[in-house]
Amino acid sequence: MKIDWAALASVFGVSLVVTIALVGLFTLGIVALSKQSATAGGSASGGSVALARTGAYACFGLCVAAVSYGIYLIVA
Amino acid sequence: MEHITLLLAIVVVTALVFDFTNGFHDTANAMATTISTGAMKPKTAVAMSAVLNLIGAFLSVEVAKTISGGIVNEDGIRTEVIFAALVGAILWNLLTWLLGLPSSSSHALFGGLIGAAVMSAGWSSINGGTVVTKVLLPAIAAPLVAGIAAMLATRLTYRINRNVTDPNQLKSTAKGYRAGQIASAGLVSLAHGTNDAQKTMGIITLALVTSGILAPGSNPPLWVIVSAGLAIALGTYLGGWRIIRTMGKGLTDLQPPQGFAAQTSAATVILASSHLGFSLSTTQSCSGAVMGAGLGRKGGVVRWSTATRMFVAWGLTLPAAGLVGAGAEFLTKQGTWGIAVTAVILVGGSFAIWLASRRQPVNHTNVNDTDGDEPQGVVTTAIAAVQPPPAGAPASDLTTTIPAPASAPDDPARPPAKV
């Protein structure tokens, strides 16, 4: 009986890092995006909204890349 | 195509039935959190999962070369043994479905195969070490890995968005979480289709090879691929609502950020494990992820009584399916009448379990009702006994505590999904 601890450890490590990175990125993205919807109190300033939106799209882009890689792994 | 014997035909049909119960059982993995957080309507969710399962079945050309991945010595395995193994796996899958417990379909198949092989050829046909490394250890590792990842991810996501308090912005983030959750659920469905439909194709191909219809090492014929894909998709579409309820509502109360974190963690663990050489059960990863997400939210609770029942079911899967498989193999060894009796037991047992499930039906209309509280269960049973499921409005004093079973077109119990 040979237990492949190295494989188990790498599954653990990769899952942890990838999950946290993805969830973190995606949350940053949606929080940034939520800035552009007008707050109940008043409207946000224009410059920071554009910046936030660019940041959000960058985050989503990385997430889409990760999902594409996932699909590639399933298909290959 | 050469002459197909009756036994082979029975095995092919049984394998497709197993494939169906597999889809039925595992819809929860992909869609339970999506349904319980309200990211998708229940019917839409299972339809999407079914389509992705079907696509998944056609995507991969690498059919499982062995059923058990080395647990059982499959050289010279007889067709009856495969049949007996499938009987054990199907009955266990249906029983756990009746109880609403998520358990691994692959482990049920392993168990059935182990029992049938031991009865057929003795203990020497089992590779004991592989049982530990492929079944027991992953059963402990999967929920831990997925759970810890989901817990930390849930903490992180709540921490990042803790400053978002404006109602408009909250609405925007909730929408984002739903989109993310649907994407991860789609990945899980696709991965499930490629993995588990291949397994059934492997079984049917093995049976065809054993009967001398296919040359050893040949790829499955097109009809095998199509029927396996359709069986798993149909099972997924009909949806194991009982298991979805346990996973989505029974283990913990999930909110959109938690559902997103849990589903992402499950998808990552499943993909990482199948590509880094330490395969973990999809079901166990998903259950673990849901519990981890439950623990990750401040004030979140995991219902350990439900979780304990689930763990017990995991522990029992291998021996229970093994016992049924061994019993079935004992009967099929007796000759033709034994095979007939086994087939009758399979059909009768499945029908009995289905009948039992009708006593307290769970479907897309009441999948999000919180279940498990004793008084509510009693009331639901009482209503189900007095009124057949599609009946009209139940007594009005009861509607205040529980929604009508199967009478409301839209789901009244679904929370408004606030972050």
DSSP states along B373-402: -HHHHHHHHHHHHHS-TT--PPPHHHHTTS
DSSP states along B169-196: HHHHHHHHHHHHHHHHHHHHHHHHHHHH
Number of domains in chain A: 1
Cβ of B54: how many Cβ atoms within 10 Å? 23
**Distance from the A7 Cα atom to the nearest Cα atom in chain B, whole angstroms:** 6
Kindly state the tokens that stand for A27.
């949350």
At residue B16, the pLDDT reads 93
By the CB < 8 Å criterion, does B218 face chain A? no
C-alpha closest to that of B10 among B211, B246, B146 = B211
Q: Which of B161, B167, B187 sits opposite A31 (nearest CB)?
A: B161
DSSP states along B141-155: HHHHHHHHHHHHHHH
Give the helix, strand, coil percentages of chain A, each rounded to 5: 80, 0, 20
By the CB < 8 Å criterion, does B198 face chain A? no
User: Are the CB atoms for B185 and B45 separated by under 8 Å?
Assistant: yes
Give average pLDDT by consecutive 10-residue segment, chain B, 419 residues. Answer: 72 92 88 88 90 85 65 75 90 90 88 88 81 81 91 90 78 85 89 83 84 78 89 89 88 88 90 80 90 87 88 90 91 86 89 86 77 41 42 39 42 42
- pTM of the model as a whole: 0.80
Distance CA B166, CA A38 (A): 9
User: Are the CB atoms for B277 and B133 separated by under 8 Å?
Assistant: no
Q: What angle do CA B218, B220, B224 make, to 5 degrees?
A: 160
User: Are the CB atoms for B284 and B141 separated by under 8 Å?
Assistant: no
C-alpha dist (Å) from residue B166 to A25, A36, A53, B155 = 21, 12, 18, 20
Residue B4 DSSP symbol: P
With contacts defined as CB-CB under 8 Å, which chain A residues touch B268? 14-15, 18-19, 22
By the CB < 8 Å criterion, does B194 face chain A? yes
Range of the domain at A30: 5-75
At residue A46, the pLDDT reads 57
Distance CA B18, CA B223 (A): 17
DSSP states along B210-231: HTTSS-TTPPPPHHHHHHHHHH
With contacts defined as CB-CB under 8 Å, which chain A residues touch B141? 8, 11-12
Kindly state the tokens that stand for B291.
């519990």
C-alpha dist (Å) from residue B143 to A35, B273, B290, B292 = 36, 12, 9, 8
User: Are the CB atoms for B280 and B142 separated by under 8 Å?
Assistant: yes
Q: Name residue B6's amino acid.
A: L
With contacts defined as CB-CB under 8 Å, which chain B residues touch A7? 276-278
At residue B378, the pLDDT reads 40
**Distance from the B329 Cα atom to the nearest Cα atom in chain A, whole angstroms:** 28
At residue B137, the pLDDT reads 84
Distance CA A25, CA A64 (A): 11
C-alpha closest to that of A23 among B38, B393, B261 = B261
Q: Which of B160, B177, B265 sits opposite A24 (nearest CB)?
A: B160
Interface contact flag, A2 B171, Cβ < 8 Å: no
B85 CB burial (10 A radius; 0-12, 13-18, 19+): buried
pLDDT above 70 coverage of chain A, percent: 84
Backbone angles phi, psi at B136, to 5 degrees: -70, -50
Tell me: pLDDT of A5 over 50: yes
Interface contact flag, A31 B257, Cβ < 8 Å: no
With contacts defined as CB-CB under 8 Å, which chain A residues touch B257? 27
At residue B323, the pLDDT reads 92
Residue with tokens 């199967």: B406
With contacts defined as CB-CB under 8 Å, which chain B residues touch A70? 187, 267, 271
Handedness of CA B56, B205, B347, B356 (dihedral sign): negative
Residue B403 DSSP symbol: P
Residue B252 bridge partners (DSSP): B302
